Structure 1
Amino acid sequence: MKTPKEIINLFLANTTNPDVIESVVDPKVTYISLNFDNPDLQKIMPWAGTHHEGAKGFIDTFAGFNEFWTIQNFEVQDIFSEDEKVAVFGRFTYTSKTLNKQVTSPFSIFAKVKGEKIYHFMFMEDTFATAGSFRITPAGTFHSDPKGTQFRL
């Protein structure tokens, strides 16, 4: 029997293999990609949000990654597990296929595995940077510091 950490490693080594994904993902999985629900981000990255489609949510997401970006590097730097919980930390470098903009982002994953099946999976990254790899015009005007002034990116 594989440990939860081994299941997540198997998944990460096979993100473009639907057979492996289907074998390790519970049909009732909760998959959170980047955020819980952000319609604006979904316009840029359609897979963003919470999914309950079983393996299909993962398959569609990783197909989207490969359709939207050329992946130069995806590196797991640390992986920890305790009981059924697994945490993964790393970095990736992608280049957008539409604008040829390269971005490097940290990522983290929080997953839960029971009976060799992933039943909860949350993937987080620097979405400001990754969405920016598709940006044609400036990001907009911001005012974050209550003591400061607005600025434009």
Structure 2
Amino acid sequence: MKTPVETIELFLANTTNPDVIESIVDANATYISLNFNNPELQKIMPWAGTHHEGATGFINTFAGVNDFWTIQAFEVQDIFSENEKVAVFGSFTYTSRSLNKQVTSPFSILAKVKEGKIYHFMFMEDTFATAGSFRVTPAGTFQSDPKATEFTL
């Protein structure tokens, strides 16, 4: 049986292979993509949010990513585990297929693996940057600093 790290490495090397994903993802697995539940972000990236569909959530997420972007690079910089928990840190570079805008983002993953099956997977990235690769008009008007004036991006 593979170690938890080996299981996650196998998944990351086969994100577009449904047969491999189905073989290493528990039927009741939870996949958290970018946030728990953000309807605005789901309009931009429909796979965002929490999925409780086992392998289907993983397959649909990575199919969506590959439909929306061309992947130039996906690099794992660190991966380590403690018992069932696996942490992964790295970066990726994607180009949006709709607008041909390139973005580079850090990412992090917290995964949990038991008996060779992934049962929890949380993928985080710079969603402001990645959603921005689909931006046609300015992002909007913001006021983050309570002592400053608003500004437009």
TM-score normalized by the length of structure 1: 0.99
Query: Helix, strand or coil: the match of 2:89?
Result: strand
2 CA distance for matches of 1:84 and 1:60?
Answer: 24
Match runs of 1:42-121 below 5 Å? 42-121=42-121
Task: Indicate the residue corresponding to 1:31 in structure 2.
Answer: 31
Q: Which residue identity does 1:93 align to in structure 2?
A: T
Deviation at 1:80, TM superposition (A): 1.0
2 CA distance for matches of 1:98 and 1:16?
Answer: 20
Deviation at 1:149, TM superposition (A): 1.2
1 CA distance for matches of 2:58 and 2:66?
Answer: 12
Deviation at 1:6, TM superposition (A): 0.5
Query: Helix, strand or coil: the match of 1:46?
Result: coil
2 CA distance for matches of 1:98 and 1:119?
Answer: 33
Query: Helix, strand or coil: the match of 1:62?
Result: helix
Task: Indicate the residue corresponding to 1:12 in structure 2.
Answer: 12
Between the aligned residues of both structures, percent identity stands at: 83
Deviation at 1:69, TM superposition (A): 0.4
Q: Which residue identity does 1:120 align to in structure 2?
A: H
Query: Helix, strand or coil: the match of 1:70?
Result: strand
Deviation at 1:145, TM superposition (A): 0.7
Deviation at 1:147, TM superposition (A): 1.3
| Alpha-carbon RMSD | 0.5
Deviation at 1:146, TM superposition (A): 1.3
Gaps of 5+ in 1: none
Query: Helix, strand or coil: the match of 1:72?
Result: strand
1 CA distance for matches of 2:39 and 2:54?
Answer: 21
Query: Helix, strand or coil: the match of 2:7?
Result: helix
Gaps of 5+ in 2: none
Deviations 1:49-104 (A, max 9, x none): 00011101111111111100000000000001000000000000000000000000
1 CA distance for matches of 2:9 and 2:128?
Answer: 27
Query: Helix, strand or coil: the match of 1:8?
Result: helix
1 CA distance for matches of 2:98 and 2:31?
Answer: 27
Task: Indicate the residue corresponding to 1:149 in structure 2.
Answer: 149
Runs of 4+ with deviation above 4 angstroms: none
